[in-house]
Structure 1
Amino acid sequence: MDSTEQMSLEGHRHGRVPREIRKRQLLDVADRIFGELGYQGASIEAVAEAAGVTRPMVYNYFGSKKKLYLQCVQRARQQLEADMETAAASAQDLRERMARVADAYFQFVEKHAQAWDVLFDSDDGTAGPAAQEARDMRFGTVSRIAAMLRAETGPVLTDRDLEAFAHAMSGCGEQLAKWWRTQPDVSRAQIVEYQVALCWDGFRHLRERTGPNPPARSGLA
């Protein structure tokens, strides 16, 4: 159990930890285990041992590894979406909104690295219903990005245009975050600039090509 997980239990006698605090502690531990070992490598036994509790206690709270994993995913995604929505609300135009959302996203990567691993580590071997449900949650986030773009653009772009761009914007952030974590000398401000430059220029180009008077196209240009 790391220091953050231990702090959540301070002040409570052994065996008398309130249920919500214990659940939060188990989710914190599970974030770390899933982040380090991936879905296939993680186990209820590993979570119980790391949390200093018994296997039956973990099963009592979550029922199965799949349900524990999905609660980790849901908690992290809700926090990420809330952070991005709060950041977007204070922006004056679309470019500023993209920048504020990007900053909130990369701040989440900084502050909640283990939770981000649970959300975005595509090499963890997750399969079956757990993978599908996690993917559905992810697509829900992308739909919210598309709705943000729709509110700014009106009818200029089709729903398909916006959905495609929202997926590209999400994927861009994910890949930049993976690269950023290998580049300790790159600041959060710099990585936000990369994200905004790529997404803003791409969005303007898409809007120009699909607007009421799109330029003539030739080849793959």
Structure 2
Amino acid sequence: MAELGEIKSPRTQRMPREARRRQLLQAAHQVFVAHGYHGASMDEIAEVALVSKPVLYQHFPGKRELYLALLDSHLADFTKMLDDAIASTDDNRQRVFETINTYYQYIKRESQAYRLIFESDVLSDPLISARIEEFNNALAVSISKVVVKDTDLNEDEGLLIGRALAGLSQVSARYWATSDEPVDQETAVDLISRLAWRGISRFPKEN
């Protein structure tokens, strides 16, 4: 058995590159949530991750690159959840419900990640705003494909509907999550999904 003095501390322990990257992103998430982008420092992120600054810089050349990597990770997770919701059923009314419900679930369960994505203090940064736009557009495109398939609307019209539904989900979920006396989640999702469905169902495909 190794002596206690021979055990490597977390600061010096070698880890596989991907495991180390996940560790650094988790530490960055913690610091960015606590202090915002401008208030966070690479020194504190390295300290929270229990690594030296050279180790941190081996993976991320700067705070901006680290923030972008964290943002990409959160957006990828959220995108997968929404894609799974859209693909979960062929019933379009249920599909609307599941998509909106996913927004509400994410903002409730992953509120810190949601704030980093949509309420960051650096949303004016061109690279960061481009990432958010790419996410919003991808969701709108996913929705529009279903709309165009099942209605007589063209692609541009379907994309506009997709943007509207995505915006409705985001704005209503953010309001619901920050309300002092929120409607319960099931009721809120039912209300918003019925509102959305009554609009979309006005465009049936003509035989």
> Which TM-score applies when normalising by structure 2?
0.79
Does the aligned pair in 2 maintain the 1:143–1:163 contact within 8 Å? yes
Structure 2 residue 41 is the aligned partner of structure 1 residue 34: no
**Superposition map of 1:51-62 within 5 A:** 51-62=49-60
Partner of 1:181: helix, strand, or coil?
Answer: helix
Gaps of 5+ in 2: 1-7
Identify the match of residue 43 of structure 1 among 12, 16, 41: 41
Distance 1:168 1:40 in 2: 32
Comparing 124-133 and 88-97, the one that deviates more: 124-133
Q: Output the aligned Cα RMSD.
A: 2.6
Aligned to 2:102: 104
Question: Residues 201-220 of structure 1: matches in 2 within 5 Å?
Answer: 201-205=198-202, 207=203
Q: Is the 8 A contact 1:99 1:192 kept in 2?
A: yes
**1:121-179 per-position Cα deviation (integer Å, ceiling 9, x unaligned):** 165444133322442233223222222323333xx112221111211111122212221
Evaluate the alpha carbon distance shift between residue 198 and residue 130 of structure 1 in structure 2; reply closer, same or farther with a 3 A threshold: same
Cα offset, 1:70, TM superposition: 1.9
Alpha carbons 2:27, 2:45 under 8 Å: kept = yes
2:28 aligns to what SS in structure 1? helix
Once residues 147 and 32 of structure 1 are traced to their aligned partners in structure 2, the CA distance between those partners, rounded to angstroms, is: 37
Asked if 1:186 is matched to 2:183, the reply is yes
Work out the CA distance in 1 between the residues paired with 2:121 and 2:195.
Answer: 25
User: Relative to structure 2, which stretch is displaced further, 187-196 or 48-57?
Assistant: 48-57
Q: Is the 8 A contact 2:141 2:162 kept in 1?
A: yes
Give the Cα–Cα distance (whole angstroms) in 2 for the partners of residues 111 and 25 of structure 1. 21
Pairing partner for 1:167 from 163, 176, 187: 163
CA–CA separation in structure 1 for the residues paired with 2:136 and 2:199? 22
Letter of the aligned partner of 2:187 in structure 1?
Q
| Cα displacement (A) at 1:99 | 0.8
Q: Give the gaps of 5 or more residues in structure 1.
A: 1-11, 213-221
How far the C-alpha of 1:36 sits from its partner, in A, is 4.1
Q: State the alpha-carbon separation in 2 of the partners of residues 53 and 127 from structure 1.
A: 28
Q: Distance in 2 between matches of 1:187 and 1:168?
A: 23
1:98 is displaced (CA, Å) by: 0.9
Q: Normalization by structure 1: what TM-score?
A: 0.75
Identity across the alignment (%): 27
Question: Could you give the per-residue CA deviations for residues 77-103 of structure 1, whole angstroms, max 9, x where no partner exists?
Answer: 221222222233332311111111222
8 Å Cα contact 2:37-2:121 kept in structure 1: no
